Structure 1
Amino acid sequence: MSRAAPALRTPPEVRPGTVRAAGALLWRTHHGDLQVLLVHRPKYDDWSWPKGKLDEGETWPGAAVREVLEETGLHCELGVPLPQAVYDVGAGGTTRPKVVQYWAARQVAGDGELANEVDEVAWLTVDEARERLHYRRDREQLKALARSHRAGRIDTWPLVLVRHARTVPRRRWRGDDAQRPLDDAGHDQAKRLVPVLQAFGVRRVLTSDAERCAATVAPFAQLTGQRLLGRHSLSEEGFDDDPSRAVRQLDKAVARGEAAALCTHRPLLPALLRDLAKRTDDPLLRAALRDSASAGLLKGEVLVAHVSGRGDLAQVVAVERHTPC
């Protein structure tokens, strides 16, 4: 019997001096068997998962897909979060902690050209990978991935809820509130949102027709060539008129079963999160979603619900939150 799916997982707040890294377990099925991709690093003569350190100001999901590309030549999109690895690194009696955030991931493109740090890659079965992995700690991610596969919950798509970024305060705005813009910090948050949505492969962007919501997801839409789909039902005014319309919009996204982001406002989030809570059979996950409905999201924060199936068969199997920098 598989363990319960992880509850809400926000990439960790780490102490100053901690080495922050991210990586992914690329997976595929071959003749019904689960296979995973390992990389060999000649410098250390070890087999491990593709991973690497975050650049300054980089998001954890963005770093994971970048490192996979740099080390394997493969573009990937992230799926469910996997257990973190926490250990000490250093030499000569001086060490510091290192935290590695992992995700399951699917290859979507790429030529497989290897980076200098990697001289060989191998697609292996779970048993083969377990034997070849150099570090015992790397087996924890493999176990979690195998459990998800056995439970039929490894093949997921992301439904992303975004609270709009920081805005010019209401007290300082004299025009129509629907036209109230982002402030400088909000525009920065919107830019930092781009690699997160890219990492999860978002292909459809729905937004409140308020300027502050559209501007939050506009940088992502512009970079990817996607069209923003404005929905009055996701606005505060539309919610005041008929609260059920926002939930129906989310229901349509679930029925469609395509990687999607919905950008909206604080008053709408509790209803949307409670609706998502009804779509999981994991009591811990359900409780976490309901807690998020009560506490809300920060401005510019992203909640990613990993969904297996669509329509009436859709099940939320994992959820993670990414706070704005």
Structure 2
Amino acid sequence: MTSSSGPGINGQQPVAAAGALLWRRRKGRLEVAMIHRPRYDDWSWPKGKLDPGETWAGAAVREVEEETGLVARLGMPLPRAVYPLPRGDLKEVRYWAAEAIGGSGALDHEVDDVRWMTDAQAFGRLTHVRDGLQLQALVDAERRGLLQTWPLLVVRHAEAIARGKWDGPDHDRPLDAEGSARAEVLAPLIAAYGITRVLSSPAERCMATVSAFAKSQHIAVRGKGGLSEEGYAEDPGKAIKHVEKALTRAEATVICTHRPLLPAMLTRLADQALPGSAALSTLTDLVEDGLQKGEALVCQVIRRGAEAKIATVERHRV
């Protein structure tokens, strides 16, 4: 899954929206949260249009909180919905499975009821047939043991001042205006996945890429020499060890680093991908292609340590 959207009618971009299917287990049964909107008298999933400059993932979390009063942590991506609006435009809605990690539960004025239902009850209550696609994918993931995941994000630092235009030590080379703007965009995107641990190369351009997120969540950025270009040149194995430690901890983590380290780190992640999965294919391709500057790669992982398996991979690009 990428952050780009395909062309709509007459070459125009579709109206972009995002949402999530909140799920929980109660007395051993899977339940999902459905919303009722009195304006349309329909039962559906919380969703809404992206604000200007907003990411899909950030919009999904914002809309869930606005419509249900609950703070969501995004999990695996679910099938998107693309359908025509009454005026003839297309609307594209991207969805994620999500768990509630906070919030008051106070309802927005557009929603007058939020109900937790079993999957059978939800299928029977859905107003729009198209909304069944996301529910079926969530149920299938639950049956395969893939729904309960934790996130591991790998971020390549955003655009920095060119080496030829910087007189100081390369370690201190800062982000340029474009890179600083990207760091601000990344903050709510990273937050959407409930990240609680931030690792970074000590280089200024890496630390600055994740600092806006870290400050917004009051989390310290842990500078790790093994994630720097210099540290990698001295001992390439340290970068891989950081990946392995993250898989062992199974804590929601983001790692920010440099291009030269990515092939080794992504190869190690590919080793943990589910055999034959799209996640494995994406990671394998990225070993050669790499990440764009300022790109966030989101791996949803089941289990931990040697038993960890990457179930899904998303690319959030500039």
Alignment match of 1:255 (pick from 222, 228, 248): 248
3-state DSSP class of the match of 1:95?
Answer: coil
Residue 271 (str. 1) matches residue 267 (str. 2): no
Give, in angstroms, the shift of residue 177 of structure 1.
Answer: 0.8
- Structure 1 residue identity aligned to 2:200: T
3-state DSSP class of the match of 1:182?
Answer: coil
Residue 320 (str. 1) matches residue 314 (str. 2): yes
CA contact (8 A) 2:3 2:55 kept: no
User: Greater relative contact order (Cα 8 A, min sep 6): structure 1 or 2?
Assistant: 1
Q: Who is 1:88 aligned against?
A: 84
**In structure 1, distance between residues paired with 2:193 and 2:311:** 15
**In structure 1, distance between residues paired with 2:204 and 2:117:** 48
Q: Structure 2 matches for 1:173-184, cutoff 5 A?
A: 173-184=166-177
Alignment match of 1:125 (pick from 115, 118, 131): 118
Alignment match of 1:196 (pick from 189, 196, 205): 189
**In structure 2, distance between residues paired with 1:229 and 1:97:** 44
Gap regions ≥5 residues in structure 1? 1-8
Residue 206 (str. 1) matches residue 202 (str. 2): no
When normalised by structure 2's length, the TM-score is 0.97
Residue 298 (str. 1) matches residue 298 (str. 2): no
Give, in angstroms, the shift of residue 281 of structure 1.
Answer: 2.3
- Structure 2 residue identity aligned to 1:235: S
**In structure 1, distance between residues paired with 2:70 and 2:194:** 14
**In structure 1, distance between residues paired with 2:6 and 2:57:** 16
Alignment match of 2:154 (pick from 145, 151, 161): 161
CA contact (8 A) 1:205 1:262 kept: yes
Give, in angstroms, the shift of residue 17 of structure 1.
Answer: 4.3
**In structure 2, distance between residues paired with 1:222 and 1:74:** 22
Q: Who is 1:139 aligned against?
A: 132
Alignment match of 2:47 (pick from 47, 51, 64): 51
Residue 29 (str. 1) matches residue 22 (str. 2): no
Q: Who is 2:63 aligned against?
A: 67
3-state DSSP class of the match of 1:155?
Answer: coil
When normalised by structure 1's length, the TM-score is 0.95
The percentage of aligned residue pairs carrying the same residue is 50
Q: Who is 2:3 aligned against?
A: 11
Gap regions ≥5 residues in structure 2? none
3-state DSSP class of the match of 1:202?
Answer: coil
Give, in angstroms, the shift of residue 110 of structure 1.
Answer: 1.3
Give, in angstroms, the shift of residue 125 of structure 1.
Answer: 0.4
Q: Stretches of 4+ moved more than 3 A in 1?
A: 14-17
Equivalent residues, number: 313
- Structure 2 residue identity aligned to 1:29: R
Give, in angstroms, the shift of residue 13 of structure 1.
Answer: 2.0
CA contact (8 A) 1:166 1:183 kept: yes
**In structure 1, distance between residues paired with 2:279 and 2:220:** 32
**In structure 1, distance between residues paired with 2:125 and 2:267:** 43
Q: Any idea what the Cα deviations from partners look like across 1:46-71, whole Å, max 9, x if unmatched? A: 10000000011111111001100110
Q: Any idea what the Cα deviations from partners look like across 1:1-51, whole Å, max 9, x if unmatched? A: xxxxxxxx1133243342100000000011111000000011111100000
Q: Any idea what the Cα deviations from partners look like across 1:219-266, whole Å, max 9, x if unmatched? A: 111111111100010001111111111000110011000000000001
RMSD: 0.9
- Structure 2 residue identity aligned to 1:321: R
- Structure 2 residue identity aligned to 1:303: L
**In structure 1, distance between residues paired with 2:243 and 2:79:** 29
- Structure 1 residue identity aligned to 2:314: E
**In structure 2, distance between residues paired with 1:14 and 1:119:** 33
- Structure 1 residue identity aligned to 2:300: H
**In structure 2, distance between residues paired with 1:282 and 1:147:** 17
**In structure 2, distance between residues paired with 1:260 and 1:38:** 29
Residue 233 (str. 1) matches residue 235 (str. 2): no
Residue 77 (str. 1) matches residue 69 (str. 2): no
Q: Who is 2:94 aligned against?
A: 101
**In structure 2, distance between residues paired with 1:299 and 1:216:** 10
3-state DSSP class of the match of 2:109?
Answer: coil
CA contact (8 A) 1:11 1:101 kept: no
- Structure 1 residue identity aligned to 2:14: T
